Homo-oligomer: A and B are copies of this chain.
Amino acid sequence: MKPKRITSHSNTAVKEAARLKRKRNRYAVRLFLAEGEDLLDAALRRLIMPRQVFVLEGHEEPAGKALAEALATGGESRRGRQPRAEAPEFYAVSQPVMAKLSELGSGSRVISVFALQEPRLPDAPPAAAGTGGAAGEETAAGPLVFLAGAGDPGNVGTAIRSAAALGAGGVILDPETADPYSPKALRATMGSVFNIPVYLNVAAGELVAWAVGLGLKIVAADAHRGMAPWEADLSGGFVLALGAERGGLSGRLKAAAQEIVHIPQVSAAESVNVAQSGSILLYEALRQRKC
């Protein structure tokens, strides 16, 4: 694909894309900015097509080629048979225009605009992420991860990345958790945000009602007490609830949990962060499913 050239800061496409740096604007129009080649590549591997792609002049070719290939492919993905996607608007822009679009300030050469999905909690426990590819093959559903009050965007992105890598069925975020579609969070996901369902703005009460309705066990992680992860039964489908670093989970959520697990740590003063806890517990669940 060949890009159109934009030289002016005041170009409408540039101005509208730059507005997506603010969370409020992202959710008003349900679009987000994805900075960098890695995120674009991750989306295209899933045949998820951006609406717009801005590339730095002189670096048009890799993105143009990847877009053309993805457009030509179509076919199966984990979201089912994709309709042949519409080509995105494709622009080559100057360094100052790129800087206006960038939030990470790390010399991004590609910034894409994608539709922001806000899926509703499913009526049945979802299958494990990444089970697509070989048609008809199904993996037992891994746990769903619920993050409550996780304020650090990097931790949220890392937690999504680990969840996708370790076979979780989805990630559910409460309203106090940092926006996973901010540039910092997206960078930490390394593109896995395209590979796993992310449910937004689910309050603890809603989560509990939903889990009870589906007969899904809630396993709450606690920094201070609970059984060792290897003593808990994590082999089936469940919701893994993880709280904020300082506040932890609400009493209400812990009261609703069937099991409370605690990662043994050397001393009370030491701890692992919320993304580390999540990775460890998803690993333990994976180990129990495989052993």
User: Footprint of B on A, CB under 8 Å?
Assistant: 42, 45, 128-131, 133, 154, 158, 161-162, 164-167, 190, 192, 195, 228-230, 263-267, 269-273, 275-276, 279-280, 283-284, 286-287, 290-291
A40 vs B133: C-alpha distance when bound (angstroms): 51
Distance in angstroms between the alpha carbons of A230 and B287 in the assembled complex: 7
Q: How far is the CB of A283 from chain B (nearest CB, A)?
A: 5
Interface contact A165-B195, CB-CB below 8 Å: no
Contact B45 A265 (CB under 8 A): no
Query: Contact: A164 with B45, CB < 8 Å?
Result: no
Contact A272 to B166, CB < 8 A, known contacts A129-B266, A264-B290, A283-B283? yes
A42 in contact with B283 (CB, 8 Å): no
Q: State the copy count for this chain.
A: 2
List the 6 shortest-distance A-B pairs measured between CB atoms, nearest first: A130-B266, A165-B270, A276-B279, A280-B283, A165-B265, A130-B267
Chain B residues in 8 Å Cβ range of A287: 228-230, 284
Q: Is the CB of B265 within 8 A of A166?
A: yes
Residues in chain B near residue A154, CB distance under 8 A: 154
- A276 to B279 Cα, complex, angstroms: 6
Q: Do B283 and A166 touch across chains, with their CB atoms under 8 A apart?
A: no
Residues of B within 8 A of A284 (CB): 283, 287
A42: chain B residues at CB < 8 Å are: 269
Contact call B228/A290, Cβ cutoff below 8 A: yes
Residues in B whose Cβ lies below 8 Å from that of A266: 128-131, 164-167
Most chain B Cβ neighbours within 10 Å, of A45, A154, A264, A279: A279
- Complex Cα distance, B154 from A264, in Å, reads 23
A228–B269 alpha-carbon span in the complex (Å): 31
Residues in B whose Cβ lies below 8 Å from that of A276: 158, 161-162, 275-276, 279
Nearest Cβ on chain B to A234's Cβ, whole angstroms: 12
Complex contacts, A264 vs chain B, CB 8 Å: 286, 290
**A30: shortest Cβ distance to chain B, in Å?**
26
Question: Across the interface, do B272 and A165 meet the contact criterion of CB distance under 8 Å?
Answer: yes
Q: Is the CB of B166 within 8 A of A133?
A: no
A125-B47 Cα distance, complex, nearest whole Å = 50
Residues of B within 8 A of A166 (CB): 263, 265-266, 272
Q: Which of B45, B128, B272 contacts A279 (CB 8 A)?
A: B272
- Which residues in B have their C-beta under 8 angstroms from that of A158? 273, 276
Contact of A192 (CB < 8 Å), options: B161, B167, B263, B270? B270
A195: which B residues are within 8 A, CB to CB?
269-270
Whether the pair A270, B130 counts as a contact (CB closer than 8 A) is yes
Asked if A161 and B273 sit within 8 Å, CB to CB, the answer is yes
Q: Which residues of B contact A165 (CB under 8 A)?
A: 265-266, 270-272
